[in-house]
Structure 1
Amino acid sequence: MSFISVFDVLGPNMIGPSSSHTAGAAKIAYLAQKMITGPLIQVDFTLYGSFARTYRGHGTDRALLGGIMGFTTDDMRIRNSFEIAETEGIAFTFLPDEEETDVHPNTVDIHMVNKAGQEMTVRGESLGGGKVRISRINKVQVDFTGEYSAVIVIQKDRPGVVAHITKALSDRNVNIAFMRLFREGKGNVAYTIVESDGHLPENIREELLKNEHVHDVMIVQP
């Protein structure tokens, strides 16, 4: 169960007007862009629920675009994110989807394409008070908040991979706060998400990639 304090209700430092529709949206996009190597050339946002109905009036579109360029929730550049994105050569679209109802009311799918042609889709949910949850990476259901430093390992679902991940982290004195495995199915693509209390060492990605079944590693620092 997720609890929200009075400080969460008041919301974080942010460009308004809404902690759910602007700060939360910016944070989702900020986390999403951390998962793919830049620079981005195309970003498509599919909005659901109240995001789809009010994204223009609440500035959700500006916040999402600002977050995808690495702007934090209180960055004044969010107000001019459309113009900045055009200057940076980032093509973008916003597609409201009011037909899909089996989602959290404040949900967005972010499809990203980088200059190298790599594509990734991330689904995020804005939970209120600026808190968010990443619930899907590509076609795999996941669950993490971005409140902690996280390492996301894309791997083949094979014995020994998780042991390799934990050993690499332990050897570098990384304290594991949460660790979860998500997979498409037995023996298919899996995502191991490890969240840590402290800052992750810069060389951890290279160490994790030494296992033949590890396809990619993403480091997401708050």
Structure 2
Amino acid sequence: MVGPSSSHTAGAVRIGRVARQLLGCQPDQVKVYLYGSFAETYWGHGTDLAITAGLLNYDTDDERIPQADVDAEEAGVDVDWLKGKGNGPHPNSVKISLCSGEKQAEILAASIGGGTIAVYELDGFDVQITGEYPTLAVTHTDSQGVLAAMTALLSQEGYNIGYMDVDRKGRSGSAMTVFELDSTPSDSSIEQLKKLPNIIDVTLIDLT
């Protein structure tokens, strides 16, 4: 990793990458809300550079991390740094809202030590993912049979589901299911998921 801190740098890079991958492309406008220790010490620990590097899809050992702010400006990525209101779920918490044109995404996550992260929200849905495994975030309608169809397809395609989490906006409303898999799904498998009834969108988050 590129330092100085596994929590404030390496973990922050990973959070930025999750946000970038959830959006599905390089953002052009980003608002970063920092909480707790992140808000108090981000400048000195390079957290701002680390999150920006993640938004550019740099990995934790990328030597370009110290110049990520310059790279972002050259790439047309505008990042605003703000102090979040209230307390986050962890002392090193951050909410990132980002967009590219009309595409938008938002995550709430924390760097919990040793470069590891916990993601608590994706696009307003309460989830629990770690980024340690290839993860599918599937937005769908809250309809009967959707979960069974998704798990059956993943099983047929040969993927082992290590963890699954579901949140919904209300009965018969929109929902999100996240699958942590033991191996990275192929483009073909993702396309098959997208074609299932009642599926709105499928996003792969893969930091491996």
Shift of 1:94: 0.6
Structure 1 vs Structure 2 CA RMSD: 1.2
* Structure 1 residue runs of 4 or more that deviate by more than 2 Å after TM superposition: none
Q: Identify the range of structure 1 (120-129 vs 175-184) with the bigger mean alpha-carbon deviation.
A: 175-184
Alpha-carbon distance between aligned partners in 2 of 1:156 and 1:55, rounded to the nearest angstrom: 38
Q: Residue 188 of structure 2 corresponds to which residue in structure 1?
A: 203
Alpha-carbon distance between aligned partners in 2 of 1:89 and 1:209, rounded to the nearest angstrom: 31
Q: Residue 125 of structure 1 corresponds to which residue in structure 2?
A: 110
Residue by residue, what CA displacement relative to the aligned partner does 1:7-53 show, whole Å, maximum 9, x if unpaired? xxxxxxx1111111111111111112111121311111100000000
Q: Residue 147 of structure 2 corresponds to which residue in structure 1?
A: 162
Q: Identify the range of structure 1 (203-212 vs 71-80) with the bigger mean alpha-carbon deviation.
A: 203-212
Matched to 2:95, the amino acid is D
Alpha-carbon distance between aligned partners in 2 of 1:88 and 1:181, rounded to the nearest angstrom: 35
Task: Say which SS state the counterpart of residue 218 (structure 1) adopts.
Answer: strand
Q: Is the counterpart of residue 189 in structure 1 residue 174 in structure 2? A: yes
Alpha-carbon distance between aligned partners in 2 of 1:89 and 1:110, rounded to the nearest angstrom: 17
Matches within 5 A, 1:144-159: 144-159=129-144
Task: Say which SS state the counterpart of residue 200 (structure 1) adopts.
Answer: coil
Aligned mate of 1:108, from 94, 100, 106:
94
Unaligned runs of 5+ in 1: 1-13
Unaligned runs of 5+ in 2: none
Q: TM-score, normalised by structure 1?
A: 0.90
Task: Say which SS state the counterpart of residue 3 (structure 2) adopts.
Answer: coil
Q: Residue 137 of structure 1 corresponds to which residue in structure 2?
A: 122
Aligned mate of 2:69, from 57, 82, 85:
82
Matched to 2:131, the amino acid is G
Shift of 1:177: 1.1
**Given that residues 37 and 114 in structure 1 are in contact (C-alpha distance below 8 angstroms), is that contact kept between their aligned partners in structure 2?**
no
Q: Residue 23 of structure 2 corresponds to which residue in structure 1?
A: 36
Q: Is the counterpart of residue 94 in structure 1 residue 81 in structure 2? A: yes
Shift of 1:102: 4.9
Shift of 1:135: 0.4
Alpha-carbon distance between aligned partners in 1 of 2:26 and 2:41, rounded to the nearest angstrom: 29
Task: Say which SS state the counterpart of residue 87 (structure 2) adopts.
Answer: coil
- The number of equivalent residue pairs is 207
Task: Say which SS state the counterpart of residue 133 (structure 1) adopts.
Answer: strand
Matched to 2:135, the amino acid is A
**Given that residues 193 and 202 in structure 2 are in contact (C-alpha distance below 8 angstroms), is that contact kept between their aligned partners in structure 1?**
yes
Percent of pairs with identical residues: 36
